[in-house]
Every structure is written in structure tokens, then in C-alpha cells.
Chains A and B, each alone.
Chain A
């Protein structure tokens, strides 16, 4: 879902904050991944090729770790933490009440607070605080959303209006459509700048969510349908802190993704691919190549919104097709009778670190840039100080962001390797099963790096 345009919004804040515009050339690139490739010596095609090369070669290195026990031991390193039940219950209710209060404050300040995007509590809390900062905490620390989710708190207090059982044949597909729909709405509407529109979306989401939860039950709704809860659940599995039935445990980042063998439906693979594509799409529409393409297509009389919608759908189908081809091909390179459908569902958790790497690359800088303004506005939601500050990030930050994209893929290669050793016998068969997935991951890396190396261009017609 989300996705405000971080680079544009950061520039808006800097301008509104009244920062000295004499330093504009430096500021214009703040939080922009473009800076990392302004280095005149290394051309962007070489940077993209290098990223792909690093991911490909990392696969070759993983081929040296072929002992089942060692792979399991690495992924199972962890620590159980004690958490007394009374402390947990008290903490849970405190955070739940605070979360519901913050949601109410978002609605009120969105409607009656200062309407300037950079001084509005609702805009800053939703985009910088929640979608950037909080999401980072979910994969960097742990998934606290089930405890925090204000809609869940409210839904659990409301009576069921129906006790319909969720139709199994829908699987995860409604949440796939919901996720892609949310991102499309964010891209084509000014919801990242217009506080009243944002409140409108929040209220619409509230109505849909509460209705759904009271028809199918809160548990089913937030587990199977709600795209936001599902995004956080997947991101949370990459986190070092895991909240399980047996309590809290500490693991190596990402390794919880290979734990648990619960059967996953076909839609689950599609959901993770949709998450990957959604972040890519947001970056893609702000490249010069997209502007050229959109100009050409809209010039022939096609409505702009339709162009954005079709691009969203086509890109998703291409990403899903690449993944499905990789799974079907893996069956052959591994010389195995394991069904392609099983392979697709089995390897899907390995894609999560890629989505995480891409999210952190886009949003860490955005969050840090806006954090002083966020803190100031959170302290006084109805009367924010007139002179809001923005943090100026150092030049090397862009390189760090590129490193996150590559690191996400490296972790994905390792997890995929570990998953392969769980399902194919011997040592060579699991390694050979990975060839197609390595190609798919190199493809994803190069697309991501190409997008972030492009100069930011305002998405046209929206």
C-alpha cells in the first residue's frame, strides 16, 4: 500500500520549512537515491550490472554450504525471552488505547488541523510516522501490528452482524486486489498531500474493514483479507523479534521466514509478488521512461487513470509470470517430480527480504528527513510551530540505500538456499533447483537498481 512519493514530499517539506534555498542543489537530492549514481565515473548501467553480479555470485558462494544440519543451525540460532502474562496484558491494553486515540486524532486533525501538508498531523503521522517509520520497525524489530491495530481493537468490540464463513476458494486473492488497489489509489490521487482526502480514505477503509470483520469475524478478516495486516505479518516474519504462541523469541533477521511449514495457498505467492511489485511500481511511475511512455499513450486519447491501472495490472502479471516460470523451470533443473505449484508456494518467503530491502531503501531517508517535523507536529497537533525543520542527510546516504537493495537480495538468496535443502534430497539437487530463482532474483535486483538510479520525475497526469 502506501507509498507517498518520498523524494517529492521531502523536497516539499524542505521548502515549507523555509530552509535556506541557496543550498538547493544539495537539498534537491536529499533522500533521493539518484544521488548515489551522480558519481560521473561509474555509469548507471554498470552499477545495475554490478548489483546483478553480486546477487548471482552470492548464490555460487551459498553452494559451499551443503550440510543440512549447519544450514538449520544457522537459521535456528535464537533466544527465548521471558514475558510474564500480566505484563503482556497490561501493555497490550495500553498500546491499544493509545493506537485508537491516535487514529481518532488523525481524523480530527486531518479535517480541522492546519491543511499545509508539511504541518498536518494526519499527513505526517500516516506517511512519515506510520507507513515509513512504523513499517521499518515491523521488519527491523518485530510485528506489533496485531496488538496495535486500532481497527482490530474496535472490530473486536463490535458485535458480529453475520456469522458467514470466509469462502475458501477466494484464498488470498481479495487481499492481492486490495493491496494493488491501495497502491494505485495512492499513486493517482493526492492522498499524500491532501489531509481531507486522506481522512476520506481512512474513513472508507474503516467502514470496509469493520463491515468485513463483523461479517467474517475479526480473526479471519485480519488474517485472510485485510491487506495492511497481511503486509505487516509478512514483514514481521523478517524481524529478529518473533511473537509466537510460546512467547517472545529472538532470532537472526530473516530466519523466521524459513520456519513453519503451514500450507500456503496459491494466492499467498501472488500476495508476496504483489508486495514486491507494488513498491517497484511506485518507483517506476517516477522515472523519465514512464513519463515518455505515458505521454505517448495518453496522446492517443486513452484516459490517464486507465493507463496507470493497466500498467499496475500488466506489471503484476509480468512479475508473477517470472516467478511462476522460475518455479516450473526449477522442477526441471532439479530433476524432481515435486509439483510446480508446491515449489511456488514453498519458496515464496524468500522474496520478503527483497521487498524489505526496497522499502528501507525508499523510506529510511524519507523518515529521517521528516522526523524533526513529525516530532514537532506530534507535540502540538493543532498548533504546530511555524518554522519546521527537516533533517539534511549526508551524501553517502544514497550509497547506503543502494546497499540495502542489494543486501535484501543477498538474504533472499540464502533463505531460498535453506528452503531448497528442506525439500530436495542430497546436496546437488537443492543447489540445482536454485538456478531459475537466482535468475529471477537477478532480474528483480537489476529492475530495482535501474529504477532507483533514474532521476526523479513527477508522475504525469495525476
Chain B
């Protein structure tokens, strides 16, 4: 039966290929006929009596995709989103931190009251609870503002216009126009962005989109970028402009990410992944008034809580491990300090320090926990602080020798470094190749090292550090 089936199918294949050789336009005829019928029915049932004086869609597109205003508006929009996020997150962040760290004291006294051993209190409260408190108070407010805003733009129909405006650059980089869409998914989560690359048919272009997706900062990295921009870039400018300066810094980082996406895409399509871009069409749908209520609900449930949940899941054990490593000593020095000391000379070349580099390495499972781990490690060195506001975080970093160049390099490293564990697994799954997974890891990390090294060297030569 099996063979018989195969044989019959092969027979049919033969008949058809013979017929198609004689007359190749069958396909065209079928498609045209269906469209003809559609046109006939539509003409029969549709009456148009358009009395609108102004076509708002057209007017909006005239502005949003114009040669003169198209690009500036895109930048302005991006900047505005970050500005609202940073400005709006400030207060609730401080409030949450106060609440959660106030609670920590209460829990600590409970542990003392119960006479629990020092190490148990250390792991549970100073390790796990404190890390979680950081994750929640630093990440939740920006996400709860950023995601709904981004979803609003998505709902409005602005994203296809962005792809329309930028397509020329992607074409010149030898990549597919849909890459712009997979990148905007990457803003949410790089793993999701990489899965979204399935919409690109050409294997070559799909691989390029997968490899470079990591240069779009995901929401696991946005809180880090925003926090550092807020406490580090912002504070060096006078108070009134600090949020603005911080948003500009984040926009700049995003632009650098896009620049590297295009650059690396081009390099790849000129070298290991040679080829010409395949065909591409993009619909510019009518603008639609977003449903604000639903957008907020959906983006909080689907995105904010999802990402926060994942962060908490990974941050809890990481917090415990960090505390243990920081409080277990070999000789006179903790393991943490040993490792950080070992990494320090190399990290210094990149304008970072051993603790920062270690936090990035420990943050491999999820980028969300890099900052909390870093804070934990600095704190474990004994510099206990009252956490009243974001200012105390700045104080902690400054006490540990941070300058604005450190801040910039941390942001750049975060933008360009190796993808998180989930993303790497996704790359492995989607490309079905360990080779391309390792390639991505090595490529991104080398770029991160090179760029931060260059920035630090220039800053040092110019005497900024």
C-alpha cells in the first residue's frame, strides 16, 4: 500500500509536469480567475459614497513617512516613550523600594526573635528577599509604563510605518524587510524575536535576523539601561533636565543597537551568508484608534507580569547563590572577591570592574538579574546603605568607583554582549545548529568587548576618567 501510494503520487507528478511544460500559465489563470470573481461580487454588493472631506490616514502618513519629518518623528517618539517611562517610574520605584526594604527590617527582626541561625537569615532575607525586592522595585514600574506605551503604538499601526521608513537601510544591508518587524518583537523579548524570524522565508536572511536580534535591547535589559541612565547619566545634568538626558541616553543606546544590527547584517551578507535580498512586501494598514483600556490590561497581563515572573523565578536562586558566594571565604577573602579580583584586570580594560563583569556572567540565565546581582555584591563588601531612593543606589555605585564612563560602558556591554540563556536555547532550537549558536555567542561578546575597550581607551586618552 505504502509503495503503491508513493508510485501513484509519482505518476501524478509526471502527468502534471508534462502538462505544465506545454502550458505554463495555468497558475496565473487560476489566480486571475479567483480575483475576477472577487471583483465581480464586490462590484455587485458594495456601494461607495465617501463624503469625508479630510482623509486623516493620508494626512498622518504624509507627516509620519515624509522625507523631512519621517525620521525626526521616529526619534522623537522613541525619546518620548523613554522619557515618560523614566519620569513616571521614578516615584513608584522609590515608593516600592521603601515599602519592600521597610518590610525587610520587619522580617529580619522576626528572624532574630525566632533565634534563627545567621546563615539561614542570610540566604533567605539578605540573599533571596533582597534580590527580589530589587527586581520588583527597579523593574516593575518602568515595565508597567513602557509596555502599554509600546503596545499603544503597535495598536495604532505605527510600527509598519517604521518598517516602511527604515526598509531602505535593511535592503542595503542585504537583509529582508521583515527583519524590522522581528526586531520590534525583540524589544519585548529576544527569544520571541528569534521565534518571529520564522516569518522570513529565505534561510540566509532568516539566519542573519536571528544572529543580530540580540542587538535590540529586550525588556530584561531595558530596566538596567533605564536605571543606569537615570542614576548615572541623568544626575550629572541639572535636576530639571535629568529625565530628558536619561531618555536621550537610552535612545542613543537603542540607535547604537540598530546601527550594529545593520552593520553586522551587512558584513554577514557580504561574507559567510552571501546572497541577494529576496522579495518583500509590506502592508501599511489604516490607522486605528487604540483601545486604551484593553491595551493596558493585556500588556500588563501578557507582558509585564510574564517578564516579571520569569525574572523573579531566576533571581531568587541567583540571589541565594550570590549571598553564599559572597559569604563563603577561602583564606581571608570571599569566593566572590576572589572571582571579581581575578576578572578585574580584564574588566578594567573595558571600563568595567570585576564585580560588573561577574554580574554579567552570573546573569547569563536572564539579563534581568544583572543589576540586582551587582548591587548584592557591592553590598556584601560591607557598605551597608539605607535605601530611601534611587539616589542611594547612585551613592553605592559612586562609592565603588563608578564614573559616567563606567555607566556608559555598562550600558554598551549590556546592549551588545552574549544573549541570555533562554535566547541561546531558542537560537539552538530555531537554527537546529550548535555552530550558529556558538557563532552568535562569540560574535556578540567580541563586539561588546571591542566596543567597550575602544570607548574606555578613548576616554582614558582624553583624560575623562
Partners in one complex: no
